[in-house]
């Protein structure tokens, strides 16, 4: 479950430094804060962006999966503006590696339980299943990265600039759809 973000418009006393930019939040300034069930209060000044969903999850593994999903979203948004297919492909490959690392962490946790008890348990089986599901998500992202195609700058002979622009828009939409499918990977 994600933590709830609270906004204070004008603080009575300084809550300390911003957790993102390290700027001192002074008395009278506004800030945002959230707290997990276990752990201290997190503070962010109003000049910094609102915390992303991955920052509001206390589980390191789930947070890493959501951070990978957010990096794919960011890459898609950047691609819509700059049409740099290599950056999009690279972002998908990096996200796949990050998700694969989480799958390995699930398997390590399962192995630790099995080593401690000397046999598999229901919990270790569940962790192994979760690791397999997360690994399948990484495979899905990697597959989408491999399906991305470069834009054919040459086009057809005698193609007008307007036709080339329409073809490029269709290409951007097609590549964006492929990347968005990768973002929807399942981990359950």
Mean pLDDT of 48-74: 95
The answer on 174 and 81 residing in a single domain is yes
Among 14, 33, 53, which residue terminates a domain? 53
Asked if residue 89 is part of any domain, the answer here is yes
The answer on 48 and 28 residing in a single domain is yes
DSSP per-residue codes, 163-187: HHHHHHHHHHHHHHHHHHHHHT---
Structural domain that includes position 30: 6-53
Whole-prediction pTM value?
A: 0.85
Q: How far apart are CA 188 and CA 56, in angstroms?
A: 19
- Tens of pLDDT, residues 110-135: 999 999 999 999 999 999 999 999 99
The answer on 66 and 40 residing in a single domain is no
Q: Lowest-confidence range among 17-21, 58-62, 182-186?
A: 182-186
- Contact at 8 Å (CB) between 13 and 37? no
């Amino acid at each position: 479950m994600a933590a709830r973000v609270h906004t204070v418009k004008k603080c009575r006393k300084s809550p300390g430094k911003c957790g993102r930019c390290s700027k001192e939040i002074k008395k009278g300034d506004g800030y945002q804060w959230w707290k997990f069930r276990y752990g201290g209060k997190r503070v962010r000044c109003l000049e910094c962006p609102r915390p992303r969903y991955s920052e509001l999850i206390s589980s390191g593994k789930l947070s890493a999966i959501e951070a990978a999903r957010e990096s794919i979203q960011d890459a898609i948004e950047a691609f819509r503006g700059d049409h740099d297919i290599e950056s999009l492909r690279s972002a998908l490959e990096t996200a796949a590696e990050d998700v694969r690392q989480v799958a390995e962490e699930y398997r390590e946790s399962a192995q630790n339980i099995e080593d401690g008890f000397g046999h598999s348990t229901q919990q270790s089986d569940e962790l192994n299943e979760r690791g397999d599901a997360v690994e399948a998500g990484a495979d899905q992202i990697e597959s989408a990265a491999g399906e991305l195609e470069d834009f054919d700058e040459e086009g057809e002979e005698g193609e007008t600039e307007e036709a080339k622009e329409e073809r490029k828009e269709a290409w951007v939409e097609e590549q964006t759809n492929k990347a968005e499918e990768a973002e929807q990977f399942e981990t359950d």
